[in-house]
Structure 1
Amino acid sequence: MVSSPAPEPSSGVPSARRRTRRGVGRVPRRAAAGRRSFASSLRRLEELAQSGAQVSVHVIELDSGRVVLSGDDHVPLPIAGLGIVPVLVETAAGFASRALDPLRIIDRPDDHVAGSGLWRHLRAPALPLVDLAVLAAAAGDPNAANALLDAVGHGQVRARMVSLGMPRSAVLDLFRDVRGPDDVPHAAVGTTREFATLFAGLVDSRAVDAAVSAQVAEWLSLNQDLSLVASATGLDPFAHDDDAHGLLFINKTGRDRGVRAEAGVLVGPRTGVAYALTVCFDDLSISHRLRAHDAFRVLGTDLMEFTH
């Protein structure tokens, strides 16, 4: 199910990403080769799949475009808050084209999502769109994400995802506390192949254009959920956009009952990768949940070794 492909020829993916961060302390290729195995991740993900979980993973090397780890990466699975990323892309595109005013004030809805987020705890009953984008990216705030989605429109997000090469992924609905029989089962679904490719496009300035890519990457660099794949980086969850050791890292996570998803970019001194991992599991106990979380952390460790 999960595989670590043999090296492939370069696919021509542009490599215009902060090369200076990788120019110092480069590990000799022969020395690094022995540490480039994803055996631990493969083993852990296979164990999850054998236990009944649905697992999808896709990892690509940024400079070459080579797929270094994949498994069921074409299968759309629930991704919860990871679906915020295409909404942020459409929001940034609206700001850039002036179709949206970044300072347009949005009232907090009366029927707000009460289960998570920061906006519901703030005294301000209304915020500008640009601040809602920060809340959605940094804290995964569902009310901020819903406000952005209402502002840009489901149809625009859907069209944008198709133009970005994401036809199998979709933002289906608003975020809700409870999904009734008349609601779609999930707020968003996606494939790991499409989301890893989207994140590669963000750091390559190919997600719409350079300005939009830079804006979305800046918002995502504020993300404070570093508890899954990102836990292996040792970065400060509250200030990791300018790491002292030269790591370039952006990510977004998604969490729901029995769903964990993450996509991001990690650039180290040797190379860089874009990755996405989704695990859908029976959340029957703390141990079931921790087993899923552990797979993300093992992948994070393998990614750190691969990029260093």
Structure 2
Amino acid sequence: MGTSPEPAMLRRSQRSSRRLPRRAAVGRRSFTATVHALEDLADAGAQVSVHVTDLDTGAQVIAGDDHVTLPIAGLGVVPLLIEVAARFEAGTLDPLEIVERTSTAPVIGSGLWRNLQAPALPLIDLAVLAATAGDPLAVNILLEQVGHHRVRDRIESLGLRRTAVLDRFRDVRGPDDAPHVAVGTAKELAALFSALVNSAAVDAAVSAQVAEWLSLNHDLSLVAASTGLDPFAHEHDAHGLLFINKTGRDRGVRAEAGVLAGPRAGVSYAMIVGFDDLSIAHRLRAHDAFRVLGVELMEYTH
């Protein structure tokens, strides 16, 4: 498979005191466009964080502020799903237990279940809704079922020191509520997805279950936009592309982590962008940076 390029780094932003060291990557697969896109975002005042690791060699491919804890919105669902799968496997949570939608406070701003006629669903279906659509009602019920403290303990057991699930989904966050659903770092999130595909997140059975749920994710609009996969049927790609991901979205927050593997190589990746969501143009500029990373990940793995 050829020698991996040196890890690309981001330079210091002209408008920020954040440390963004620059070391140009070498070779054909150097992620130069991604570095430039993220530097432009940082120069415009955005907070950017990225980490990509080669799954075969364990080498860091690109990194920038990957240790900085940032809001990750719905990406916090991943450690919750790991705890749910672990409890299913241990028999301490019944996957077929039926739970009423009205058992939790309504969240009317987003979600799929609120538009369905079924007033109750089994917990295992709620896990699928959480993984595929980031459904806030499903996530909130799962969090209540397993307990916030157990999710926190699971995060610690996974070795994640700068990642936390802070709160449930809410339509409005008051002064007494946590400011974000979840926070994390690009480095830890990339490592978490690497653990999932390497059967190291709790154990092989839990890793496989969570990876299966995440392989059904419908949001392929950021990094995954460059894969050409069908958002609704991509778990068995005809071209042998292995892909799982989860995104996080909130006002001024875009985040994605996942695994992409092709015939040449495989990578785990995570990218977080915090930006001033002042206009559609600001939002699209952040989205474009994710898609640039996606293009270069495809080039790296193919």
Correspondence for 1:99: 92
Q: Return the offset for 1:107.
A: 1.2
Q: How does 1:1-308 map to 2 (within 5 A)?
A: 6=6, 34-109=27-102, 111-308=105-302
Q: Return the offset for 1:35.
A: 3.0
Correspondence for 1:17: none
Is this contact kept in 1: 2:130–2:139, CA < 8 A? Answer: yes
CA deviations 1:66-119 (Å, max 9, x no partner) are: 110001111110000010000000000000000100011111136211111111
Is this contact kept in 2: 1:35–1:305, CA < 8 A? Answer: no
Is this contact kept in 1: 2:5–2:30, CA < 8 A? Answer: no
CA deviations 1:115-136 (Å, max 9, x no partner) are: 1111101111111100000000
Tell me, what secondary structure is at the counterpart of 2:246?
A: strand
TM-score, length-normalised on structure 1?
A: 0.89
Q: Return the offset for 1:6.
A: 2.2
Is this contact kept in 1: 2:5–2:27, CA < 8 A? Answer: no
Distance 1:107 1:179 in 2: 24
Distance 1:296 1:96 in 2: 35
Task: Work out the percentage of aligned pairs sharing the same amino acid.
Answer: 72
Distance 2:98 2:71 in 1: 31
Total equivalences in the alignment: 280
Distance 1:185 1:178 in 2: 10
Tell me, what secondary structure is at the counterpart of 1:159?
A: helix
Tell me, what secondary structure is at the counterpart of 1:236?
A: coil
Is this contact kept in 1: 2:72–2:249, CA < 8 A? Answer: yes
Distance 1:264 1:258 in 2: 21
| CA-based RMSD | 1.2
Structure 1's consecutive aligned runs of 4 or more residues displaced over 6 angstroms after TM superposition are none
Q: Answer 1 or 2: higher relative contact order, Cα 8 Å, separation at least 6.
A: 1
Deviates more, 1:111-120 or 1:209-218: 111-120
TM-score, length-normalised on structure 2?
A: 0.91
Distance 1:208 1:259 in 2: 29
Q: Return the offset for 1:296.
A: 0.1
